[in-house]
Amino acid sequence: MFTEDLPSVHSDGCLETGPRKTVSFRVADGFRKFPLDVTASIIYGTMANAEKDDLWTLAEKRLALWPFTILGGPYRFNWGSWFDRKSYSLLNEYAIEWRNYNDRIVETRRASGTKTPVVLIYDAYEAGDITLENLMHSLDEIILTNLDVMVHAITWAIKYIAENKKVQQELSDEIDANWDRLHEYISKVDTHLHRSFMETLRLQPPAVFNIGEMSPSVKNFNGILVKPNTMVLVDVLAINVRNPFWGSDSEEFRPSRFENIKPTDVQIYIPHFLELFSPDLPRFHPTKMSPILQAALATVSLLTLHWLLQLRYNIAIFGFGSRKCPGQYIAAQGIKALLAYLLRRYKIDVITERKEKKNRSAEKSEVIPIADVIVQLTSRDSVELH
């Protein structure tokens, strides 16, 4: 398990003090590979250590290319190769290595008779259902695109939880109480764990501005008319933090603020509402209901809609509308699982915020800020570390 290996991986920062063991390390160094391990294992299945090492090497090359995507301009066109031959050469090198890597993975899985998702995707390509470019781009986007986003969320969540001892104790108690039904617990959205995840992303969204968008028609924002084809950017922090909706302590880490705001209740209730109103179920059709049941249904519907509108216009985490990030579901489950295992085994403290910038050449490509702190993990009384 990833959390169990932390003391051995960071052995230079490991210390035994009586029955307890502590290990300290820079938080990003400890968890940088976790998102890749999680996502890749879903697509590729169980991976050998050599496969993981090769994938990480490719991931580092891709991360180094990502800033050029953000810059845009000439890097969005084929003629851009004349503008920056070195960068395009690195891109071509990466594309070839990425194809070769996936070919090897598929060959190995087919030889063992393992039908992992990557094999099924290759089957579709070989059947002519998708192009090679679609195949390579899809695998790249699924496995590698959101690595920095997940590391961002993990490091900030650990930092906030480590600094807030009350929240940390509440989380540890909740995790202990739910350990025997861990999968169900991680999937739930009415837990302190999920609220801590949401509060982290409220305060530290992966992007502080959305990708610019424009409309071909005039838009009216509370009387402010925006001309057609005007590029519009959304200040995410103005929604998530500098917003009266979140109260006077909007800049503080307080997961309990989400206790009375349940956006996923909409996902739970709306399908049932649709069933209730379906003509195929005349027993439950509104015209067949008693006045009391109709009133109760209407009340619950309005409350659900109120919860939806509250968060729709007061928080922005994974994007907007149809452009919301599809990887949010893997990210949420993976990060919550990591936090659960981590807090089950350790107490977490922040030793210091890093001031020096030595030995950080691997991070020059970062475009999403991480929490740059050194954390100390101390084994809990009830858990023995190996």
267 pLDDT above the threshold of 70: no
- The pLDDT of residue 291 is 53
Backbone angles phi, psi at 231, to 5 degrees: -70, 130
Compare 272 and 79 and report the one with higher pLDDT: 79
Task: Using pLDDT thresholds of 50, 70 and 90, give the confidence band for residue 184.
Answer: very high
Backbone angles phi, psi at 13, to 5 degrees: -105, 15
268 pLDDT above the threshold of 70: no
Q: pTM of this prediction? A: 0.77
Compare 226 and 193 and report the one with higher pLDDT: 193
- The pLDDT of residue 2 is 55
Whether residues 17 and 139 share a domain: the answer is yes
Give percent of the chain above pLDDT 70. 72
- The pLDDT of residue 353 is 63
Task: Using pLDDT thresholds of 50, 70 and 90, give the confidence band for residue 5.
Answer: low
- How many domains does the structure of the chain reveal? 3
356 pLDDT above the threshold of 60: no
Whether residues 116 and 139 share a domain: the answer is yes
**Per residue in 98-137, is it b (16+ CB within 10 Å) or e — as a string?**
beebbeebbebbeeeeeebebbebbeebeeeeeeeeebee
Closest CA to 55 of 147, 193, 165: 147
Whether residues 23 and 88 share a domain: the answer is yes
Q: Is there a domain that residue 319 lies in?
A: no
Whether residues 87 and 223 share a domain: the answer is no
Compare 245 and 192 and report the one with higher pLDDT: 192
pLDDT digits 0-9 by tens, 35-60? 999 899 999 999 999 999 999 999 99
Whether residues 12 and 143 share a domain: the answer is yes
Q: How far apart are CA 91 and CA 64, in angstroms?
A: 10
Task: Using pLDDT thresholds of 50, 70 and 90, give the confidence band for residue 119.
Answer: very high
Q: Is there a domain that residue 350 lies in?
A: yes
Give percent of the chain above pLDDT 90. 46
Whether residues 70 and 96 share a domain: the answer is yes
- The pLDDT of residue 312 is 62
- The pLDDT of residue 278 is 36
Question: Domain span at residue 221?
Answer: 208-236
Whether residues 13 and 52 share a domain: the answer is yes
Whether residues 9 and 137 share a domain: the answer is yes
Q: Alpha carbon of 102 to those of 56, 135, 212, 299: distances in Å?
A: 13, 10, 33, 53
Cα-trace Rg, the chain: 24
- The pLDDT of residue 288 is 46
Tokens linked to 75:
């890097």
- The pLDDT of residue 206 is 85
Q: Is there a domain that residue 58 lies in?
A: yes
Q: How far apart are CA 364 and CA 63, in angstroms?
A: 9
Q: Is there a domain that residue 200 lies in?
A: no
- The pLDDT of residue 9 is 52
Q: How far apart are CA 149 and CA 210, in angstroms?
A: 14
Compare 19 and 100 and report the one with higher pLDDT: 100
Whether residues 60 and 121 share a domain: the answer is yes
263 by DSSP, 3-state: which?
Answer: coil
- The pLDDT of residue 303 is 45
362 pLDDT above the threshold of 60: no
pLDDT digits 0-9 by tens, 306-354? 444 456 678 887 665 555 666 677 788 899 999 999 999 999 999 876 5
Whether residues 41 and 70 share a domain: the answer is yes
Q: How far apart are CA 303 and CA 309, in angstroms?
A: 10
Q: How far apart are CA 337 and CA 132, in angstroms?
A: 34
190 by DSSP, 3-state: which?
Answer: coil
Find the Cα–Cα–Cα–Cα dihedral 316, 318, 319, 322, rounded to 10°: -130
Tell me whether residue 89 is exposed, middle or buried, using C-beta atoms within 10 angstroms of its C-beta: 0 to 12, 13 to 18, 19 or more. exposed
- Order of strands, sheet of 346-353, starting from the edge strand that comes earlier in the sequence: 14-17, 20-26, 373-379, 346-353
- The pLDDT of residue 251 is 96
- Region 157-170: what's the mean pLDDT? 97
Whether residues 263 and 345 share a domain: the answer is no
- The pLDDT of residue 364 is 47
Q: Is there a domain that residue 385 lies in?
A: no
Q: How far apart are CA 206 and CA 151, in angstroms?
A: 10
DSSP-assigned letter for residue 206? S
Tell me whether residue 286 is exposed, middle or buried, using C-beta atoms within 10 angstroms of its C-beta: 0 to 12, 13 to 18, 19 or more. exposed
Q: Is there a domain that residue 135 lies in?
A: yes
Computed over every residue of the chain, the mean pLDDT equals: 79
Compare 242 and 15 and report the one with higher pLDDT: 242
- The pLDDT of residue 109 is 97
Among residues 266, 288, 313, the one where a domain terminates is: 313
Q: Is there a domain that residue 230 lies in?
A: yes
Q: Is there a domain that residue 308 lies in?
A: yes
Whether residues 303 and 347 share a domain: the answer is no
269 pLDDT above the threshold of 50: no
- Region 15-27: what's the mean pLDDT? 76
| Cβ atoms of residues 68 and 83 within 8 Å | no
pLDDT digits 0-9 by tens, 50-102? 999 999 999 999 888 877 776 667 767 777 677 777 877 888 899 999 999 99
Q: How far apart are CA 206 and CA 152, in angstroms?
A: 7
